[in-house]
């Protein structure tokens, strides 16, 4: 987020929830990690000088589920061990890859 007067900020809130963490990069910039939430909330910075007064909204959106569009190669031996490339969308943040319910040993 950008603004002015951020030096000395000790709290960043998204609505009523404090940021998971934040760093004051300069008097005009803060990098913050959002807490969990829904809907649209105002972002508020608090320093010794008080709370920010601008109404700056942040909107939470639902993450899209991963979609696999192709697997290459599309076959391999029953003993496993075949390295495959999965192509699709929304893979960022994936925590597991499964083949017929069995976790891949690595991905």
The answer for 45, left when phi > 0, alpha when psi is -120 to 50, beta otherwise, is beta
Residue 107 belongs to a domain: no
**What does pLDDT average to over the chain?**
91
Share of the chain above pLDDT 90, in %: 65
Residues 50 and 73 in one domain: no
Q: Could you give the angle at the alpha carbon of 59 between the alpha carbons of 37 and 27, nearest 5°?
A: 95
Q: What is the pTM of this model?
A: 0.60
Does pLDDT of 1 surpass 70?
no
Residues 38 and 71 in one domain: no
Number of domains comprising the chain:
2
Residue 2 belongs to a domain: no
Residue 19 belongs to a domain: yes
Residue 85 belongs to a domain: yes
Domain with 38, as residue range(s), is: 11-59
- Please compute the mean of the pLDDT values over residues 1-28 and round it to a whole number: 90
Give the tens place of pLDDT for each residue, 40-71: 999 999 998 899 988 899 999 887 889 999 99
- Please compute the mean of the pLDDT values over residues 14-29 and round it to a whole number: 95
- Please tell me the distance from the alpha carbon of residue 6 to that of residue 23, in angstroms, as a whole number: 10
Residues 53 and 72 in one domain: no
């Amino acid at each position: 987020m950008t603004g002015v007067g951020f030096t000395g900020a000790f709290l960043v809130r998204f609505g009523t929830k404090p940021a998971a963490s934040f760093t004051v990069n300069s008097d005009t910039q803060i990098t913050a990690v959002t807490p969990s939430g829904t809907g649209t909330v105002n972002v508020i910075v608090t320093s010794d000088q008080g709370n920010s007064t601008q109404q700056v909204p942040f909107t939470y959106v639902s993450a899209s589920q991963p979609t696999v569009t192709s697997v290459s190669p599309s076959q391999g031996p029953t003993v496993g061990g075949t390295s495959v490339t999965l192509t699709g969308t929304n893979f960022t943040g994936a925590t597991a890859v499964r083949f017929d319910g069995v976790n891949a040993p690595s991905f």
